Amino acid sequence: MVVTQEDIDAFQEDIVNPYFALAEFIRSFGASLDPMLWVKLVEEELKELYDEKRNTPEHLKEYADLLYVFTGLDLVSNERLGTLVPEEERANIVSLMGRTERMLQEYLQHYGEETVGKAFTRVHRSNMSKLGEDGKPIKREDGKVLKGPNYRAPDLDDLL
C-alpha cells in the first residue's frame, strides 16, 4: 500500500507554530531578511484581506496569508527594526504592525483558534510545496519564487 503525502495531511491535521513555519520558509527559499520587503508584503496582504467578504474561504485564505507575512515581518524585525530601517520609516512600520495586529486579533476571535491554525498550516504546506523536486526553490531571474511541479493550492473550503 502506498501512502501519499496527501493521505498523511488529511489524516493528521496538526497545527504548525507560525514562527517555526516562517523560519522554515525563509531558510528553505532563501527568502529576504529585509524588513522593508516584508512591510510591502504585509501591506499587499492587508489589501487582499479587505477585498474579500467575511466568512468565505477566500477571506480565511487572505487572513492566513496576512498572518504568514506578518509573522515573517515580526521575525526579521525583532533585532533589525531599530538599526536597519531608516528612522523616518520606523514610526510608519510600528503603526502598520499595530493595525495589522488588531486586525489579526479581531478575526482570530471571529474564526476561532482551531480554524485559524488549520488555515495557516494549510497555507504553509502549500507554500512549501512550491519547492522543486530537488527540495530547492525555483526562482525567476529577478528572484521571484515560482511554483514547482509539486505545488498544491490550499483548500480551506471545509473549514467554514
According to the binding rule CB under 5 A, does residue 52 interact with Mg ion? no
Closer residue to Mg ion in complex, CB, 65/74: 65
Looking at 22-154, which runs of residues are DSSP E strands?
Answer: 138-139, 145-146
Q: How far apart (Å, rounded) are the C-alpha atoms in residues 58 and 140?
A: 27
CB of 65 to Mg ion, least distance (A): 4
Binding span for Mg ion by CB under 5 A among 60-68, 78-86, 113-121, 134-142: 60-68
Cα distances (angstroms) measured from residue 95 to each of 11, 67, 87, 89, 90? 41, 16, 14, 10, 9
User: Out of 9, 29, 36, 48, which residue is the one contacting Mg ion (CB under 5 A)?
Assistant: 48
CB of 70 to Mg ion, least distance (A): 12
Count of C-beta atoms within a 10 Å radius of residue 91 = 9
Name the residue number minimizing CB distance to Mg ion.
Answer: 65
According to the binding rule CB under 5 A, does residue 65 interact with Mg ion? yes
Give residues with Cβ within 8 angstroms of 27, minimum separation 6: none
**The three cell numbers locating residue 131:** 519547492
CB of 8 to Mg ion, least distance (A): 26
Residues near Mg ion (CB under 5 A) are: 48, 62, 65
